[in-house]
């Protein structure tokens, strides 16, 4: 950590900062610049709130050198982490596609969806039973009944399953029925939920928050891993920007960047990112080309009758065509699919 | 609601949309434009997910006319809502200042803070006991012990109290000790928490999410009010933008705009918005001039030793000076303080 | 266009708006909603500033139905536009790569760069001679001397050339030496420059502004085309968001979306978008997979000695490796490279 | 400047960086951290592009310590700069209001506007003659004819005048007729225009770009001042964010922050920032309370007939009422108005 002193910082202010740093277990190195003094502080800042130092008299700002996350970093573990769910390995050489409806609506709908995504090559079935909705007047999900249907669809098709959890109750129910717990974008900094997900022991699919920096996203993963659960799958799903021609802005650069910073697998959700059926397949192809370990895509047997997010759902034919294209792109970047 | 059809939409596609609208209880009006057909649909869209229509064949997009919120809108209630806490009325002619430390750290710290903010003219004591922290390695709060100290400080000083709740447990504890429950920015779309806060019956201070639009913020308030709790206080606390010279960007225009759209009181948090002690007083003055009903400000008896957010906390002298300035500005805009 | 009236709009206010619309050549259709009146206005709004209507008494807002751009839209011209430069066609079945240094620095540097990008398969040489720099104290470019070197490199290698123009003078000089004029991101709404580029007759590579919406970008292209120059190549180069782990956020969804909205070719600049050498190749592959017609990439014979943007420049070996990868991805999406 | 080396940086890589720094005239100090080496470099980085260092082998990143601007900084000049135009001083104890129509439309309109803003207490008349418009099909301004009318209005009322310049020609014409040259938001990084404005000798009102950081804004001012023209007035006019309930997001924190960083006067444009007449007066009051040195406000004798930006223009009565309110707020913060 580097502490930059004010232009006018008095000598005793510098000494007070040095003393404080040493009291906190850091070793301090003074650098006398042309106009100001800079203090290099050697030690582990993770337990420290930098702002504490920043408001000492004479301090202009504090520049961290180490990353704030530890367990999820590449520095902590060089080789890629693999998350295994049944026979499916996420993060390995094979591209893994999760697909299914936004919300579980009925037995017919879900089984139809499961069969069709299975046939087209998906490995994991997605389906929401506890829906976080912007409006209190919108459909909120089938809850436990929906999860029972997920389990039935899994039993029939052999697909693994993923569903979103939103609080203690939904998590408690979900662990009984599904293979992967999803923490949604709006809950990425719901730290209680992250801790519970960490303790649940099941793999966690952690979506990036709408306005979360990559560092905050990795810190959210650190919450889960620090509870002893290393099975975290990161999911880029678009961030909020000024551009509103798409629902969100898919930040695809995050894929290679996060794979540089962390050992965790990274997948991409082109459906929520774009909110536009026409853009799902091109962005899915782009995600694979950028190095994503997998995708999570909304597919509905009859999108025009979907109870949520129909506009961004693919119909069966569109999904099958996309899977075909993905195989070619995956092969081009040296990946099985 | 207005449904804009594609340039190439076939006549039967138009008819299918019209039939669907009528099935949903809307009355449809066709307008034949130069190049395309536009359908005006008269009815209540609140129960409807617009995206359902958007993916019907031939539909280009759907433009909502009515606001998605109802109970919190000015249209539903013309006069300003007042939230009364003990002898303090928020939303009325008097400017109400909430102040106190970011986190409750000790009996000494909290009582000192309570006395000093009381003396300078604050009406509500703020203090965090359950802290949502970006890092799992940071101080997480004194929990129930902290809330007992809040109650003690309230008893001694006569101040009302506000604290943040983050889940079912913290909410259950908090309602026993404090007067106002705060839902933080990172939980603004934690819909379960909003529902619980709605059912708790106590006034709720609802912070705007870092990347929440004003419409989403009002929808979050709608969640609380739709549970039967009308005592919602909105709090603008800065949004996330590209500018990082300040911690967030205080969106002060939201104050007069929200007061136009809604009958709920609006207060401003210049401490979290700027993250910079030097900017707190100017932005507090600006908030009052813009029409805010109150402020929530971080004050610490000794900011340099604060366990969290010290950099943005005022010391006692700075707070007293700010309160003095606010009185003058409040008077200039016809408000008591 | 749809005019939404206020809840309280008086009947005579509605009549005034209708009269005004008719005076402007529109046909007005009244729709009586549950709570308010909505007016559908049929006619061409392009010459009209919508805000003029929005402030008439009783009007709440105006919703445009038609897009504001005309000549660049798919509606105006269904088939893809091809921009031909020498033997190279941009927008056709072949992927076109432009590459070269950020700034022309010397004869040796430029010729070395030209030879190496040519050999690796690039078709167009990029090189800046008039550099818009954030700091007045940074290297500003070799100006005409640099362009003479571009022409020399083109003559030797057979590559086409592209360079940025920043004002009337640089444009006047550039047309004498290079094949394609680039309008940079910071000048995307320098409307005088757009008009001059439109009149210059040469193909124009139009970068998207840092904070330009897709609609504004297409309107900037409309400026050029409305001067009679249809040879516009759009270039996505990243937008400014809250995320600062990368220099900008590459908005790759813009590629398929713009190809939907417009007939103009679209290329991608992964170098400026990411500002990070390690991310250039993955994002280049992703751009091709998303359907981009080409790329523009910074390559430097010796990036560590570059006078500008070295951090994002590829060295010769990295560029050759990337070109190899691009060929595979291009083939996977049915494109020659 | 601090150079942070990679975890795996080899000793010779460190030595190469040190040698390079010394070659550039810096003095290098090595700090051996727990895991990595950090190099403190003492010297003037202004002439240096940091990215040059960042791509040397073994370097992870470079952290600047000094600000990139010099002449405009408070460090260079402690006391506030005053910009004098006729009898009006901007940046002193008096609040200065610039007001007038978005565009000069006719002699009648402009003279009416000039008289009414003069009478209500404005000191400077604004009016656009060269309009940068998003659409090539919109009204582009009266050009020189408009400036002659500005001069006539100034002669009659004694008001100073300000108008926007967009290129060499408009600047050349404008200097003959008006007192202050405005560089608009979309041209904030049109560096050629900044240099020309710097050489023109007249005061320059420099609007902040839609997506410009405060540092970039001050660098743009540095361009002007480095040409020898110290008479720069900074103008905050809203930035582009995800929120679209207002036209832009007024970043009022920029006012006290910039006054901390720079000696230049800062004014605020609440009209363009909000794009909404109803928000202009509250935001103008807030700006004054935050410490702005002045305002620039759109006023039109008959906003409903304005050729541009009517929606955000005040009518005469609204403007007079606002001026009344501003006097009270100005007095409350110790300022004459």
Report if residue D325 sits inside a domain: yes
What is the distance between the alpha carbons of residues A256 and C281, in angstroms, rounded to a whole number?
10
Least confident of A79-88, B129-138, C194-203, D112-121: B129-138
- Residue D108 three-state SS: helix
Q: What is the pLDDT of residues B96-139, one digit of tens each?
A: 999 999 999 999 999 999 999 999 999 999 999 998 887 888 77
Report if residue B74 sits inside a domain: no
Q: Which chain D residue has its CA at the smallest distance from B282's CA?
A: D290
Q: Residue B216 has what pLDDT?
A: 96
Q: In terms of domains, do A37 and A87 share one?
A: no
Q: How confident is the model at residue D4 (pLDDT cuts 50, 70, 90)?
A: confident
Q: Residue C305 has what pLDDT?
A: 67
The partner residues of A4 in beta bridges, in order of sequence, read A38, A61
- The better pLDDT of the pair D8, B241 is held by B241
Residues from chain D contacting residue A4 (CB–CB below 8 Å)? 65
**Encoded tokens for D299:** 């006023």
CB-nearest partner of C329 from A249, A278, A332: A332
Written as one string, the DSSP assignment of A221-277 is: HHHHHTTT---EEEEE--B--S--SSSSB-BTTHHHHHHHHBSS-EEE-HHHHH--H
User: Is B29 part of the contact surface with chain C (CB cutoff 8 Å)?
Assistant: yes
* CA distance to A35, A55, A61, D2, D143, per residue, from A4 (Å): 11, 12, 5, 10, 50
Report if residue B76 sits inside a domain: no
Average pLDDT of D225-233? 96
Q: Residue A24 has what pLDDT?
A: 84
Q: In terms of domains, do C55 and C117 share one?
A: no
What is the distance between the alpha carbons of residues D269 and D182, in angstroms, rounded to a whole number?
12
Selection from B193, B188, B136, B129 nearest residue B161 by Cα: B129
Domain containing residue A121: CATH number: 3.20.20.70
Q: How confident is the model at residue A23 (pLDDT cuts 50, 70, 90)?
A: confident
Q: In terms of domains, do D186 and D325 share one?
A: yes
What is the distance between the alpha carbons of residues D156 and D152, in angstroms, rounded to a whole number?
6
Residues from chain D contacting residue A63 (CB–CB below 8 Å)? 2, 63
Whole-number average pLDDT of chain B = 92
Q: Give the largest CA-CA distance in chain D.
A: 76
Domain containing residue B31: CATH number: 3.30.70.1140
Residue with tokens 């609040």: D95
Q: Residue C179 has what pLDDT?
A: 98
Written as one string, the DSSP assignment of B87-134 is: TEEETSSB-EEEEE-SB---HHHHHHHHHHHHHHT-SEEE-BSS---S
- Percent of chain D as helix, strand, coil, to the nearest 5: 40, 20, 40
Which string of b and e fits A294-319 if b means at least 16 CB within 10 Å? bbbbbbbbebbebbbbbbbbbbbebb
Report if residue D54 sits inside a domain: yes
Neighbours of B93 (CB within 10 A): 13
Q: Residue B233: phi, psi to the nearest 5?
A: -115, 120
Question: What is the share, in percent, of chain A residues with pLDDT greater than 90?
Answer: 71
Residues from chain B contacting residue A137 (CB–CB below 8 Å)? 46-47, 226
Q: What is the pLDDT of residues C26-80, one digit of tens each?
A: 888 888 877 788 888 888 766 566 666 777 778 888 888 778 899 999 989 999 9
Please name the residues in contact with A172: beta carbons below 8 A apart, sequence gap of 6 or more: none
Q: What is the pLDDT of residues A183-218, one digit of tens each?
A: 999 999 999 999 999 999 999 999 999 999 999 999
Q: Which chain D residue has its CA at the smallest distance from B215's CA?
A: D245
Q: Residue D138 has what pLDDT?
A: 78
CB contact under 8 A, B253 and D257: no
Q: Residue D217 has what pLDDT?
A: 98
Q: What is the pLDDT of residues B276-323, one digit of tens each?
A: 889 999 999 999 999 999 999 999 888 766 666 667 789 999 999 999
Report how many domains make up chain B. Answer: 2
Q: Residue A298 has what pLDDT?
A: 95
Show which of B63, B91, B114 is a domain's final residue. B63
Q: Residue D266 has what pLDDT?
A: 98
Q: Across chain A, how many H-helices and E-strands are there?
A: 11, 14
Average pLDDT of B210-219? 96
Q: In terms of domains, do D244 and D128 share one?
A: yes
Test mutation, B61, B242, B260, chain C, max C CBs within 10 A:
B242
Question: What is the share, in percent, of chain D residues with pLDDT greater than 90?
Answer: 71
Residues from chain A contacting residue C271 (CB–CB below 8 Å)? none
Q: In terms of domains, do D151 and D90 share one?
A: yes
Report if residue A167 sits inside a domain: yes
Residues from chain D contacting residue A42 (CB–CB below 8 Å)? 31-34
Least confident of A21-25, B270-274, C179-183, D262-266: A21-25
Query: In this predicted complex, what is the ipTM?
Result: 0.92
Q: How confident is the model at residue D25 (pLDDT cuts 50, 70, 90)?
A: confident
Q: Residue C133 has what pLDDT?
A: 80
Neighbours of A83 (CB within 10 A): 22
| Boundaries of domain holding D57 | 2-63
B170 near B177, Cβ under 8 Å? no
Q: In terms of domains, do B109 and B55 share one?
A: no
- Checking if the pLDDT of C24 tops 80, the result is yes
- Residue C215 three-state SS: helix
What is the distance between the alpha carbons of residues A248 and D326, in angstroms, rounded to a whole number?
40
What is the distance between the alpha carbons of residues A132 and A151, in angstroms, rounded to a whole number?
21
User: Is B76 part of the contact surface with chain C (CB cutoff 8 Å)?
Assistant: no
CB contact under 8 A, D253 and B250: yes
Q: What is the pLDDT of residues B243-288, one digit of tens each?
A: 999 999 999 999 999 999 999 999 999 999 999 889 999 999 999 9
Q: In terms of domains, do D305 and D229 share one?
A: yes
Angle (CA) B2 B5 B7, round 5°: 145
Q: In terms of domains, do C98 and C49 share one?
A: no
Q: Residue B49 has what pLDDT?
A: 66
CB contact under 8 A, C241 and A246: no
Q: Is B19 exposed, middle or buried (0-12, 13-18, 19+ CB in 10 A)?
A: exposed
Please name the residues in contact with B35: beta carbons below 8 A apart, sequence gap of 6 or more: B7, C66, C75
CB contact under 8 A, D189 and C134: yes
- Residue A336 three-state SS: strand
D241 near D56, Cβ under 8 Å? no
Show which of D33, D63, D93 is a domain's final residue. D63
Distance from CA of D315 to the nearest CA of C (A): 11
Q: What is the pLDDT of residues D101-134, one digit of tens each?
A: 999 999 999 999 999 999 999 999 999 999 888 7
Q: Residue A305 has what pLDDT?
A: 67
Angle (CA) A132 A138 A143, round 5°: 55
Q: What is the pLDDT of residues D188-214, one digit of tens each?
A: 999 999 999 999 999 999 999 999 999
Residues from chain C contacting residue A211 (CB–CB below 8 Å)? 242
Neighbours of A245 (CB within 10 A): 18
Q: In terms of domains, do D37 and D111 share one?
A: no
Helix residue spans in C55-209 (DSSP H): 107-120, 144-157, 168-177, 191-200
Please name the residues in contact with B127: beta carbons below 8 A apart, sequence gap of 6 or more: B100, B101, B103, B104, B110, B113, B146, B149, B150, B153, B161, B163
What is the distance between the alpha carbons of residues B12 and B16, in angstroms, rounded to a whole number?
6
Q: Is B133 exposed, middle or buried (0-12, 13-18, 19+ CB in 10 A)?
A: middle
Q: Residue B144: phi, psi to the nearest 5?
A: -55, -40
Residues from chain A contacting residue D211 (CB–CB below 8 Å)? 242
Neighbours of A151 (CB within 10 A): 14
Taking only residues 245 to 274 of chain D, the set having a beta carbon closer than 8 angstroms to any beta carbon of chain C reads: none
User: Is B111 part of the contact surface with chain D (CB cutoff 8 Å)?
Assistant: no
Written as one string, the DSSP assignment of D146-205 is: HHHHHHHHHHHH--EEEEEE-SHHHHHHHHHH-SEEEEPGGGTT-HHHHHHHHHH-S-EE
Average pLDDT of A80-94? 96
Which string of b and e fits C190-200 if b means at least 16 CB within 10 Å? bbbbbbbbbeb
* CA distance to B170, B183, B267, D177, per residue, from B264 (Å): 25, 16, 10, 50
Q: In terms of domains, do D254 and D157 share one?
A: yes
The 8-class DSSP code of residue A314 comes to B
Report if residue A317 sits inside a domain: yes
Q: How confident is the model at residue B178 (pLDDT cuts 50, 70, 90)?
A: very high
- Checking if the pLDDT of D49 tops 70, the result is no
Report if residue B77 sits inside a domain: no
Q: In terms of domains, do D135 and D8 share one?
A: no
Report if residue C95 sits inside a domain: yes
- Checking if the pLDDT of B85 tops 80, the result is yes
Q: In terms of domains, do B204 and B234 share one?
A: yes
Selection from C218, C248, C256, C216 nearest residue C234 by Cα: C218
What is the distance between the alpha carbons of residues A121 and A99, in angstroms, rounded to a whole number?
10
Q: Residue D53 has what pLDDT?
A: 79
Q: Residue D192 has what pLDDT?
A: 93
**Encoded tokens for C272:** 């400026």
Q: Is C302 exposed, middle or buried (0-12, 13-18, 19+ CB in 10 A)?
A: middle
Whole-number average pLDDT of chain C = 92
Q: Residue C45 has what pLDDT?
A: 67
What is the distance between the alpha carbons of residues C31 and A253, in angstroms, rounded to a whole number?
47
* CA distance to A13, A287, D41, D258, per residue, from A9 (Å): 6, 50, 19, 21
CB contact under 8 A, C213 and A290: no
What is the distance between the alpha carbons of residues C300 and C102, in angstroms, rounded to a whole number?
8
């Amino acid at each position: 950590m580097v502490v930059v002193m004010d232009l006018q910082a008095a000598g005793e202010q510098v000494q007070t900062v040095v003393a404080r740093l040493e009291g906190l277990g850091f070793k301090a190195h003074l650098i006398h610049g042309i106009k100001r003094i800079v203090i290099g502080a050697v030690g582990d800042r993770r337990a420290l709130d930098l702002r504490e130092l920043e408001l000492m008299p004479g301090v202009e700002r504090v520049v961290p050198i180490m990353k704030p996350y530890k367990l999820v970093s590449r520095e902590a573990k060089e080789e890629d982490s693999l998350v295994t769910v049944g026979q499916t390995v996420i993060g390995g050489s094979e591209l893994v596609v999760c697909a299914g409806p936004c919300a579980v609506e009925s037995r017919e709908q879900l089984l139809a969806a499961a069969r069709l995504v299975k046939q087209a090559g998906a490995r994991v079935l997605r389906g929401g039973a506890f829906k976080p909705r912007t409006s209190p007047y919108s459909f909120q999900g089938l809850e436990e009944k929906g999860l029972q249907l997920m389990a039935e669809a899994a039993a029939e098709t052999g697909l693994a399953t993923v569903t979103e959890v939103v609080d203690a109750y939904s998590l408690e129910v979900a662990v009984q029925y599904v293979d992967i717990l999803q923490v949604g974008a709006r809950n990425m900094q719901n730290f209680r939920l992250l801790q519970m997900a960490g303790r649940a022991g099941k793999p966690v699919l952690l979506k990036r928050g709408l306005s979360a920096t990559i560092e905050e996203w990795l810190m959210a993963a650190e919450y889960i891993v620090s509870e002893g659960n290393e099975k975290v799958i990161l999911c880029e799903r678009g961030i909020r920007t000024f551009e509103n021609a798409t629902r969100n802005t898919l930040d695809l650069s995050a894929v290679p960047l996060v794979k540089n910073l962390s050992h965790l697998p990274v997948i991409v959700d082109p459906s929520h990112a774009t909110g536009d059926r026409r853009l799902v397949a091109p962005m899915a192809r782009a995600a694979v080309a950028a190095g994503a370990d997998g995708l999570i895509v909304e597919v509905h047997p009859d999108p025009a009758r979907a109870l949520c997010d129909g506009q961004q759902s693919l119909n069966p034919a569109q999904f099958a065509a996309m899977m075909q294209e993905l195989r070619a792109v995956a092969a081009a970047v040296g990946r099985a699919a």
